[in-house]
């Protein structure tokens, strides 16, 4: 019996990665760094979950000689860069640079109409979630979600299942009563490690990932409704037994 839908944010609710990429580059320029990430490099960097983690990984590989700054100074710099990036991203979202992917809002509304709970399980920051959903859903967007897990509540990033395990506990539901929505292999691994059947809607940044463990892979949610999701979930549970 399907009781809840649990959504990832970046790439899943909205195709945000191009806006994130532009925001990273803006932050580097503001900080006076000559770093410039292109789409191919950023696609690779998306294998690292979390913005700060991504910056640090790039720094250590692209300019290892800068490590002599010392761990504390390095952490301060990464934090400052991430603050600048978050501000740039929020500004872009507020200007309408990002919108929800096809079918997302309709599926959420159908789920709420039928008494299902909604939750968010992401590695992004609370600020990024609020910026996106405030614009897409309205100022009371939070009321639609029974539980929200993000970078502040789940510091161990995907592919670790921490954020999904937190959401199952908050919803007080078993994995078999919920369905996860993701767009990347890290997200899929995180959700399936928590025991969740997972629907994948890839983006151009993640289309090359291995989704063999997914319940289904669909281009977006525009052709998906609750009846369809219930059928797929029931079929997978029968097959598992």
What does the pLDDT look like over 97-133, one tens digit per residue? Answer: 999 999 999 999 999 999 999 999 999 999 999 999 9
What does the pLDDT look like over 62-72, one tens digit per residue? Answer: 887 765 667 78
* Residue 160 annotated to the active site: no
Domain endpoint, select from 76, 94, 112:
94
Domain residue limits at 35: 17-94
What does the pLDDT look like over 159-176, one tens digit per residue? Answer: 999 999 999 999 999 999
Active-site residue identified among 8, 150, 160, 183? 8
In this structure, the answer to whether residues 10 and 113 fall within a common structural domain is: yes
* Residue 220 annotated to the active site: no
Domain endpoint, select from 47, 73, 94:
94
Contact between 197 and 3 under an 8 Å Cβ cutoff? The reply is no
What does the pLDDT look like over 126-167, one tens digit per residue? Answer: 999 999 999 999 999 999 999 999 999 999 999 999 999 999
CATH number for the domain spanning 158: value is 3.40.50.1000
In this structure, the answer to whether residues 103 and 79 fall within a common structural domain is: no
In this structure, the answer to whether residues 103 and 87 fall within a common structural domain is: no
Give 74's pLDDT tier (boundaries 50, 70, 90): confident
Q: Tell me, what DSSP letter sits at residue 49?
A: -
In this structure, the answer to whether residues 62 and 89 fall within a common structural domain is: yes
In this structure, the answer to whether residues 74 and 112 fall within a common structural domain is: no
In this structure, the answer to whether residues 39 and 149 fall within a common structural domain is: no
Contact between 133 and 16 under an 8 Å Cβ cutoff? The reply is no
Predicted local confidence at residue 43, as pLDDT: 97
CATH number for the domain spanning 49: value is 1.10.150.240
**0.85 exceeded by the pTM?**
yes
In this structure, the answer to whether residues 36 and 127 fall within a common structural domain is: no
- What is the tally of structural domains in the chain? 2
- Cα(213)–Cα(71) distance, integer angstroms: 38
In this structure, the answer to whether residues 48 and 123 fall within a common structural domain is: no
């Amino acid at each position: 019996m399907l009781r809840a839908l649990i959504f990832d944010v970046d790439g899943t609710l909205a195709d945000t990665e191009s806006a994130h990429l532009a925001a990273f580059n803006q932050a580097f320029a503001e900080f006076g760094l000559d770093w410039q990430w292109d789409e191919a490099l950023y696609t690779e960097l998306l294998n690292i979950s979390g913005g700060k983690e991504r910056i640090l990984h790039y720094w250590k590989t692209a300019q290892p000689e800068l490590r002599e700054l010392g761990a504390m100074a390095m952490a301060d710099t990464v934090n400052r860069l991430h603050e600048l990036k978050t501000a740039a991203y929020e500004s872009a979202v507020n200007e309408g640079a990002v919108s929800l992917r096809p079918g997302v809002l309709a599926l959420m509304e159908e789920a709420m109409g039928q008494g299902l709970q909604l939750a968010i399980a992401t590695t992004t920051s609370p600020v990024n979630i609020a910026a996106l959903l405030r614009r897409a859903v309205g100022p009371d967007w939070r009321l639609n979600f029974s539980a929200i897990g993000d970078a502040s509540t789940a510091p161990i990033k995907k592919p670790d299942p921490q954020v999904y395990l937190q959401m199952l506990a908050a919803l007080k539901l078993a994995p078999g009563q919920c369905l996860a929505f993701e767009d990347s292999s890290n997200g899929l691994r995180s959700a399936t490690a928590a025991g969740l059947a997972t629907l994948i809607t890839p983006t151009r940044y993640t289309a090359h990932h291995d989704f063999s463990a997914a319940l289904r892979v669909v281009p977006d949610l525009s052709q998906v409704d609750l009846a369809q999701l219930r059928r797929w979930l029931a079929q997978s549970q029968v097959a598992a037994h």
